[in-house]
């Protein structure tokens, strides 16, 4: 697989480390009333879709940036690559 890095252009997927579902960006509020329940779901439960999947890849052998890659789990086709930083900021995260 080739991942079109937004800054570095097309890079071999072997340069990256895979973490998992991009929902891992949305870390629950540890002060919420139901924090234990939400952290359980956050840490252990996955949608695991057959089809389009937004997921986190880390460019370990490159510029060490985190990317959000939209990839089809049925065909491995990559349709979109964003910097995870941009995704997190768009969701209102400060850092």
Partner 1 sequence: MRYSALRILREGLTGNKGWRPVWREPEPKPEYDVVIIGGGGHGLATAYYLAKEFGLRNIAVLEKGWIGSGNIGRNTTIIRSNYMLPGNEPFYEMSLKLWEGLEQDFNYNAMVSQRSILNLFHSDGQRDAFVRRANAMRLAGADAELADADQLRAELPFLDFDNARFPIKGGLFQRRGGTVRHDAVAWGYARGADARGVDIIQNCEVTEFDIAGGRCHGVETTRGQIRAAKVAVCVAGSSGRVMQKAGMRLPIESHVLQAFVTEGLKPVIPGVITFGAGHFYVSQSDKGGLVFGGDIDGYNSYAQRGNLPVVEDVAEGGMAIMPMIGRARLLRSWGGIMDMSMDGSPFIDRTPIDGLYFNGGWCYGGFKATPASGFCYAHLIARDTPHPVATQMRLDRFRSGNLIDEKGMGNQPNLH
Q: Among residues 35, 45, 80, 86, which is the contact residue for partner 1, using CB under 8 A? A: 45
Distance CA 88, CA 79 (A): 19
Q: Which residues touch 75 (CB under 8 Å, ≥6 apart)?
A: none
To partner 1, the closest distance from the beta carbon of 49 in angstroms equals 7
Q: Are 40 and 58 in contact (CB under 8 A)?
A: no
Q: Among residues 4, 28, 55, 65, which is the contact residue for partner 1, using CB under 8 A? A: 55
The residue ranges that bind partner 1 (CB under 8 A) are 1, 12-14, 18-21, 40-41, 43-50, 53, 55, 71, 73-76
């Amino acid at each position: 697989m080739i991942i079109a890095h937004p800054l570095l252009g097309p890079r071999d997927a072997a340069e990256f480390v895979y973490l998992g579902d991009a929902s891992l960006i949305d870390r629950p509020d540890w002060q919420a009333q139901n924090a234990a329940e939400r952290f359980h779901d956050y840490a252990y439960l996955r949608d695991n879709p057959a089809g389009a999947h937004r997921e986190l890849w880390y460019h370990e052998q490159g510029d060490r940036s985190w990317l959000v890659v939209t990839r089809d789990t049925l065909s491995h086709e990559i349709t979109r690559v964003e910097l995870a930083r941009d995704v997190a900021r768009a969701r209102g995260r400060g850092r």
